[in-house]
Amino acid sequence: EDKVVQSPLSLVVHEGDTVTLNCSYEVTNFRSLLWYKQEKKAPTFLFMLTSSGIEKKSGRLSSILDKKELFSILNITATQTGDSAVYLCAGVAGRGAQKLVFGQGTRLTINP
Amino acid sequence: NAGVTQTPKFQVLKTGQSMTLQCAQDMNHEYMSWYRQDPGMGLRLIHYSVGAGITDQGEVPNGYNVSRSTTEDFPLRLLSAAPSQTSVYFCASSYSMSRGPTGSPLHFGNGTRLTVT
């Protein structure tokens, strides 16, 4: 059975701190791993990772994939209150049809 | 750009009632899917479609039906609502795997919050 597990489930930090969110996966015919940010409504796309060891970066956010150890991390540096959200990772599984398997999400709260 | 549009935003049903959640996208995406989101459970795949006329079951399909008569629309039907179907439902779409070997990111609608009493 395909499975994606995120940790921690919840994290509270102060503004300016750096955080690391974890995502481990067991996905059949793995194709890629996606990170999303969910505030009040729809998840919004952050990163797609397909190759091991290549860091994707967008401003203060960065992410990397380890296909040997089957995990990914999402780093946020110099956190701001606007980074407060649920962060979801998902593994893309299968051949032919795209099937995403989501983790439970990490709820990140940034206190001023 | 409308993207993925879901209606209604909120719905309250009594047990046993039926209803259809609507989803439309204007990005010419081949792939469309429905997820439900429950506290502590993440997003779970209900049904998906890789093109008009083709649908398949996801992780939690029981109690739900779908059809895909056009590329743009992918309605989700609850035939006889149950309290266990109280959830937030998201429709999402993307280009199909035929556009590339590694998948393409899903675009989500804003969700429908459904309560079944």
Least confident stretch, A69-83, A84-98, B57-71: A84-98
Q: How many contiguous H segments (helices) and E segments (strands) does chain A have? A: 0, 11
Query: In this complex, do A34 and B103 lie within 8 Å of one another by their Cβ atoms?
Result: yes
The predicted pLDDT at position B100 comes to 47
Q: Which of A44, A100, A104 sits opposite B41 (nearest CB)?
A: A104
pLDDT tens digit sequence for A48-65: 998 888 899 999 999 999
Interface contact A31, partner B, CB < 8 A: yes
Residues from chain B that touch A4, judged by Cβ atoms under 8 A, are: 42
Q: Is the pLDDT of residue B1 over 70?
A: no
Residues from chain A that touch B102, judged by Cβ atoms under 8 A, are: 31-32, 48, 50, 92
Type of residue numbered A79: T
pLDDT tens digit sequence for B58-74: 889 999 999 999 999 99
The vertex-B110 CA angle with A71 and A28, nearest 5°, equals 30
pLDDT tens digit sequence for B79-116: 999 999 999 999 999 886 555 445 567 889 999 999 99
| A90 band by pLDDT with thresholds 50, 70 and 90 | very high
Q: Reduced to 3 DSSP states, what percent helix, strand and coil does chain B have, rounded to the nearest 5?
A: 5, 50, 45
> Which DSSP symbol is given to B71?
S
Q: Give me the percent of chain B exceeding a pLDDT of 70.
A: 91
